[in-house]
Structure 1
Amino acid sequence: MPDADPSPLAAERGYLERARVQLARMRERTLSLEAQGGDRVSSEFLAATLYHRAASLADDPASTLFFGRIDTDGSDPATGEVPERWYIGRRHVADEAGDPVVIDWRAQVSTAFYRASRTEPMGVRLRRRFGVDHGQITAYEDEHLTDATESEQHSRILAGEIERPRVGPMRDIVATIQPEQDAIVRADVSTTVCVQGAPGTGKTAVGLHRAAWLLYAFRDRLARSGVLVVGPNRAFLEHVGSVLPALGEIEVAHTTAELLVASVPVRASESASVATLKGDARMAVVLSRAVWSSLRDPSEALVVPRGTRRWRVPAYEVRELVEELRTRGVRYGAARAMLPQRLAHAVLLQLEAAGDSPDDRVQDSVARSRPVKAYVDAVWPALDATRLVMNLLSDPELLRRCADGVLSEQEQAALSWATPARGPRTAPWTAADAVLVDEVEDLLTRTPSLGHVVLDEAQDLSPMQLRAVGRRCSTGSMTVLGDIAQGTTPWSTRSWEESLTHLGQEGAHVEELTRGFRVPSAVIDFAANLLPHMAPGLAPPESVREDPGLLELHAVPADDVLAATVAAARTALDIEGSVGVIVADADVAELAKALTAAGLDHLRLGRDDELDHGTADHEDGAHRLHLVPATVAKGLEFDRVVVVEPAAIAAAEPDERTGLRRLYVVLTRAVTGLAVIHAQPLPEALRP
């Protein structure tokens, strides 16, 4: 319970002011430094470093610099341990002498704040949590972890922070990280972790906070190799984009799975069955065959004029060199780059046998000579990934040769374009084709590896998409996030073991989160009725929220659906927090007109990363009401959600299982309350 004694509260407020003064001093000190390196490039690099350092030291007056405190017991006289007090916050703050005023939540000493308990106090005598309002400390709660006489109580401050209304983008959870989440966040940089998380378990936040922790604990290593966050769509990236900057990490890149492989202009669509086939892992075999089938059998000898003589490398010897390079396991392009030197070395051996004494410069000269270059082009031609995929999909005979024994004749026919493309710029590229091009580019030249990749909503990626993400961290590690029950694509994964294999991360640890902190029990229990029908092997999620939330089911006549939806949105706006109205994609335009006619200012989230404003923006750029197509809802959260025609949302998907999974996603976006408006009968699993 919050302490009623005002004197400790005043002391904590005074400590906060001291911390703010010290942070301002640190920032002023950084801004006063001059970027003078050894040269212009070094100076510019130093200036950029100082700029980012100063940006990370900016104080946010809307929040406090610390959210908790731990007091150690200091009960080991043998080691000379003395009681210590640590304030835990979002960033490190030190005084003039360099002593810590606030400890970064990622520091090792902060681990005890998140994991200490009565059964395992970890040397902590007291844990204090602070209640905050508009950047000021308003209350505090104490847990005496070594006092056996004090009964364990739920933290009201912790519950209040978890259940605080959602307005704007996702915020960090450093003040509310739970022990099981903290164990994932602090997993070693060399470890790939896969998190199976039910809605509201905080898996996305855990992944982002792990990225922040890794950059803190292994900054030198990851600053060179880089960290990347991959999400399902731009609406999701907009939602989570402020989390890492709030934690002081402003250089982490964010992208979507589609943008990651955007090497061709996507201008066409295709059936779900064809897209599923193109996303099948067997396509990697077909593409590999297509690449290596480009080699030509050396039927003629290589002849290199040098001086007054002509040196000849027989075709059989060239054939042996080509076969040796092909079986080395290197990329097509790398092996092609080696071939001129191999051929030049064969000429060099003949020169030596003739009594000459050539050196490396002679070999390089032969390798760069016109006859050798022309011979290499004929035997080992240069390839363009875009054109190769275009030829493969345009030429049924080429596809037949490369897919023989891998794809059936029916599958080959489904892959072939109806009309051969005239060129890469005008080809009818689809999103699935772009992934094929990316695969070929990696077969030609190795894709550079990042240090760490956070992949969210991984269950929705095809095997070929997973391969594309996996090669971006072939020498790094990953945080793989998702929920098999929320798989809403025809190619969604059947198991995490399968997904991890395609990512190249076999044997990675799989952690399951079932305790829900975001979705209230009334909402999650309602949505969980769908689980036995679409993901029977998963444990149902459990909400740990004290507030059960609000669930309303409104059956209305078909003619009244729009009016009832507008009324429900207006009612939700009367209460603090964000509001999301989620509807089948086909009905978005009609509902947008109804909301506009009713004078309800809203932000319309578009498909494929487009954001459209339904009416004029607010002056501060924030919207409380969002109109969300069902296919864009994944990963988002709103304080109150209005779901329109669940049956229509489910029916829009290609099959019943995918439809129920889409509906499960939509129903679990609510943080406080859910209203369901329907004229059509609810799916059977949801009927009372």
Structure 2
Amino acid sequence: MPAEPDDPEVTVVLAAERAHLAESRAALRRMREHARGLSADAAADWVSRQILESLLDQRVEALADRPDTPLFFGRMDRGDADGDTDGDTDGEEDGELPAVMYVGRRHVHDGDEGRPLVLDWRAPVSRAFYQAGPAEPMGWRLRRRFGFQSGDLTAFEDEPLDGGAETLTSRILTEEIERPRTGPMRDIVATIQPEQDTIVRADLPRTVCVQGAPGTGKTAVGLHRAAYLLFTHRERLARSGVLIVGPNRAFLAYIAAVLPALGEVTVEQATIDDLLGAPAAEETAPVAALKGEARMADVLRRALWLHVRKPADGLVVTRGSARYRLADHEVREIAAALRGTTRYGSGRAAFAQRLAHQILVRMERRGEAPDDRVQDQVARGGPVKKIVEEVWPKLTAEQVLYRLLSDADFLRTAAKGVLDEDEQAVLRWAKPARSHRSAAWTRADRALLDELNDLIERTASLGHLVVDEAQDLSAMQLRALGRRCGTGSATVLGDLAQGTTEWSARSWTDVLTHLGQEGDVTELTMGFRVPGTVLDYAARLLPHIAPALERPRSLRPGAGALDVRRVDDPAAAAAEAARAALARPGSVGLIVPDAAAAVHAAALTAAGLDHEVLGPESDGAARLLVIPAALAKGLEYDHVIVAEPAAIAAAEARGLARLYVVLTRAVTSLTVLHREDLPAELTDRRTRP
């Protein structure tokens, strides 16, 4: 039940909880000052000192207190109502539950006594805050949630866990979910739901795939899983690393503050272009789609190994007055034994060593006693180097791909039985560049080059990879990401209904296969962010874009959240709608057809409204943003205005999926303005809830 602020007992409790908050903040400051006072001078050498200084700097940064962020958001009490509830946590060390625990974003302890004042939400004992309920209290009697305003503790709400009653919707929890936002995405540690918590706490070796409808918090779940794994497996992941991969820079800017708010300041974030290289040219969707198919992996492997050729002559090595000979068939047999059993680069080095070893065998037959140094000398000598270059030439990925796309005969040989003649014609460059050095590689080419680079030299693997909007990655891009967690695990996030590319995944089984991972697929269908009326309206498109998916539901009814109306001038009407939205708390996103962004920006300027146009490299910090529809994925705003849905749907092959994305970005209200008729799929009564 929510606590009434005028109740004298409530006043006493609030005073006690505020005192605990003040004590905890003071302890955190002491912890940070202690960390700041530590010295790296004890390190044995300069390199160790630099590493230690970096670790200490990270520790200081992780202990930063953000005044507008609650230090703790919940409390758990065990025992009887008249029992020990003075905050004593004795017994935790020996496996017993503490009498009272405060759950927050990071661990805080009293520096003098070592007494824990706040327990990290990721600690095993904190799991009960998210999972305990009347049916399974997990040893606890009471859960208390705290309400905050600008970092000040203003309210609390108690939920009995031992009465057998059904769990009621928490007002504080609902208010936190609905709290208006501006700027980057916030963490959700105070509002994690049991089904989300199960995903977050999945073991490190386990790859998890989350099919999440709009507003179900799948992105936040992925980020909090990364934070949980770093807490639980700190030493291991500090060595191997964790990487977050998002669809564009605007998305990464939007989520950038989440992990630092949780005390994790070392996690890297990147787009697929950051990892594989930015494209220098564009190409048509059919060409990109073909290059993105998994079949291209076989073509590339053949293309690379086709460069291993038969020798024209054998090998002759002169040592002093003696000459040692390998016949051409012997050289060919050595190359054949290595071909395809190793990576191209290491195979080339092994080829030289095996040739040299056979020369040493012949030296021994003549009574000589050569050692490893002689073998290395022979392997580096001119005759061996010459025949290695002839049979097993040194190559770069760019050289191989250039030849594949520019040489019709070579492409025909490499693609035989994999691609038909029409597909080969689609791939082949009409006007090849002069050389691989001057070639302008496309985004799809970058994935092919990464595949070739791995065939030449092994790609290093991370400990854990979080991939968001994974449904929009091609099979070859997924293979590239899979190599980066080949010895680790992954958290795969996305929504098949929001697939907007021609190569978008149709099943998560395919995605996991291309990643080279085995994992469980969990579907989140209960939305917390998008109002019910808005989600139901967008869900009219589901039978046409992803009929196999379960219809999403919302925890929030959202009465009055949806406004759909026909207007004479969409740009002018959108400006007025933006003005009205700005009069309410929260962020405002005006989502428009890509080609109409400049027109709408001009209308906002004419109306005297400050705004920014979101670009691929934007941080999206302005309160009012004009958002091209292609960049809306993964973002959310309190108030969303959508202009001309029909134009958004008609702009690309999977335009209805793009429209589904656009219509599900709203947290508080959605206004749809149109002069053209709405897409028939939105008005078909048979698709309505």
Q: TM-score, normalised by structure 1?
A: 0.95
Residue deviations 1:650-673, cap 9 Å, x none?
Answer: 00012xxx1111100000000000
Shift of 1:431: 1.1
Quote the RMSD (CA, aligned, Å): 1.6
Shift of 1:233: 0.7
**Which residue type is aligned with residue 317 of structure 2?**
V
> Which whole-Å CA distance do the structure 1 matches of 2:622 and 2:220 have between them?
22
Query: In the alignment, what sits opposite 2:670?
Result: 674
Query: In the alignment, what sits opposite 1:51?
Result: 57
- 1:70–1:85 CA contact under 8 A, matched in 2: yes
- 1:163–1:545 CA contact under 8 A, matched in 2: no
- 1:515–1:542 CA contact under 8 A, matched in 2: yes
Match of 2:530 among 519, 526, 541: 519
> Which whole-Å CA distance do the structure 1 matches of 2:507 and 2:168 have between them?
38
Residue deviations 1:17-49, cap 9 Å, x none?
Answer: 000110000011111111111111111111111
**Which residue type is aligned with residue 66 of structure 2?**
D
Query: In the alignment, what sits opposite 1:296?
Result: 309
- 1:69–1:86 CA contact under 8 A, matched in 2: yes
Shift of 1:610: 2.9
**Which residue type is aligned with residue 53 of structure 1?**
R
Q: How does 1:230-249 map to 2 (within 5 A)?
A: 230-249=245-264
Which range moves more in the overlay, 151-160 or 563-572?
151-160
Change (3 A) 1:536 1:290: same
Which range moves more in the overlay, 427-436 or 408-417?
427-436
Query: Is residue 325 from structure 1 mapped to residue 338 from structure 2 by the alignment?
Result: yes
Match of 1:529 among 520, 540, 543: 540
Residue deviations 1:363-416, cap 9 Å, x none?
Answer: 112112121111111110010111211121111111111111111111111111
SS at match of 2:157: strand
**Which residue type is aligned with residue 674 of structure 2?**
H
Q: How does 1:200-599 map to 2 (within 5 A)?
A: 200-262=215-277, 266-328=279-341, 330-505=342-517, 507-545=518-556, 547-548=558-559, 550-557=561-568, 560-599=569-608
> Which whole-Å CA distance do the structure 2 matches of 1:82 and 1:110 have between them?
10
Shift of 1:67: 0.4
Match of 1:67 among 73, 78, 83: 73
**Which residue type is aligned with residue 31 of structure 2?**
M
SS at match of 2:102: strand
Query: In the alignment, what sits opposite 2:88?
Result: none
Match of 1:605 among 586, 593, 614: 614
- 2:308–2:393 CA contact under 8 A, matched in 1: yes
SS at match of 2:484: helix
**Which residue type is aligned with residue 45 of structure 2?**
D
- 2:533–2:557 CA contact under 8 A, matched in 1: no
Match of 2:659 among 660, 663, 669: 663
Match of 1:162 among 171, 174, 177: 177
Match of 2:132 among 103, 106, 116: 116
Query: In the alignment, what sits opposite 1:618?
Result: none
> Which whole-Å CA distance do the structure 2 matches of 1:327 and 1:489 have between them?
34
- 1:237–1:255 CA contact under 8 A, matched in 2: yes
Change (3 A) 1:224 1:98: same
Query: In the alignment, what sits opposite 2:121?
Result: 105
- 2:588–2:638 CA contact under 8 A, matched in 1: yes
> Which whole-Å CA distance do the structure 1 matches of 2:393 and 2:535 have between them?
58
SS at match of 1:407: coil
Query: In the alignment, what sits opposite 2:632?
Result: 633
Residue deviations 1:440-488, cap 9 Å, x none?
Answer: 1111111100111000001011111111111111111000000000000
- 1:638–1:669 CA contact under 8 A, matched in 2: yes
SS at match of 1:70: strand
How many percent identity over aligned positions?
59
SS at match of 2:146: strand
Match of 1:32 among 33, 37, 40: 37
Q: How does 1:4-43 map to 2 (within 5 A)?
A: 4=4, 5-36=10-41, 37-43=43-49
SS at match of 2:119: strand
Residue deviations 1:119-142, cap 9 Å, x none?
Answer: 111111111100001111101011
Query: In the alignment, what sits opposite 2:7?
Result: none
- 2:534–2:558 CA contact under 8 A, matched in 1: no
- 2:405–2:428 CA contact under 8 A, matched in 1: yes
- 1:551–1:675 CA contact under 8 A, matched in 2: yes
Match of 1:196 among 211, 229, 252: 211
> Which whole-Å CA distance do the structure 2 matches of 1:144 and 1:308 have between them?
95
Change (3 A) 1:467 1:549: farther
> Which whole-Å CA distance do the structure 1 matches of 2:560 and 2:273 have between them?
36
Q: TM-score, normalised by structure 2?
A: 0.94
SS at match of 1:611: coil
**Which residue type is aligned with residue 84 of structure 1?**
A
Query: Is residue 127 from structure 1 mapped to residue 143 from structure 2 by the alignment?
Result: yes
Structure 1 unmatched ranges of 5 or more? 614-621
> Which whole-Å CA distance do the structure 2 matches of 1:230 and 1:362 have between them?
48
Shift of 1:549: 5.4
- 2:344–2:455 CA contact under 8 A, matched in 1: yes
Query: In the alignment, what sits opposite 2:3?
Result: 3
Shift of 1:83: 5.7
- 2:279–2:442 CA contact under 8 A, matched in 1: yes
Change (3 A) 1:549 1:672: farther
- 2:184–2:257 CA contact under 8 A, matched in 1: yes
Change (3 A) 1:341 1:681: same
Shift of 1:82: 7.1
- 1:521–1:542 CA contact under 8 A, matched in 2: yes
Shift of 1:423: 2.4
Shift of 1:267: 2.8
**Structure 1 residue ranges, 4+ long, deviating more than 6 angstroms after superposition:** none
> Which whole-Å CA distance do the structure 1 matches of 2:22 and 2:490 have between them?
39
> Which whole-Å CA distance do the structure 1 matches of 2:651 and 2:661 have between them?
14
Query: In the alignment, what sits opposite 1:685?
Result: 681
**Which residue type is aligned with residue 204 of structure 2?**
V
Change (3 A) 1:113 1:305: same
Residue deviations 1:634-659, cap 9 Å, x none?
Answer: 000000000000000000012xxx11
**Which residue type is aligned with residue 438 of structure 1?**
D
> Which whole-Å CA distance do the structure 1 matches of 2:442 and 2:351 have between them?
35
SS at match of 1:119: coil
Shift of 1:191: 0.3
SS at match of 1:61: coil
Structure 2 unmatched ranges of 5 or more? 5-9, 84-90
Shift of 1:685: 2.4
> Which whole-Å CA distance do the structure 2 matches of 1:529 and 1:151 have between them?
33
Paired residues, number? 666
Residue deviations 1:575-633, cap 9 Å, x none?
Answer: 00000000010111111111112111112112xx23399xxxxxxxx411011000000
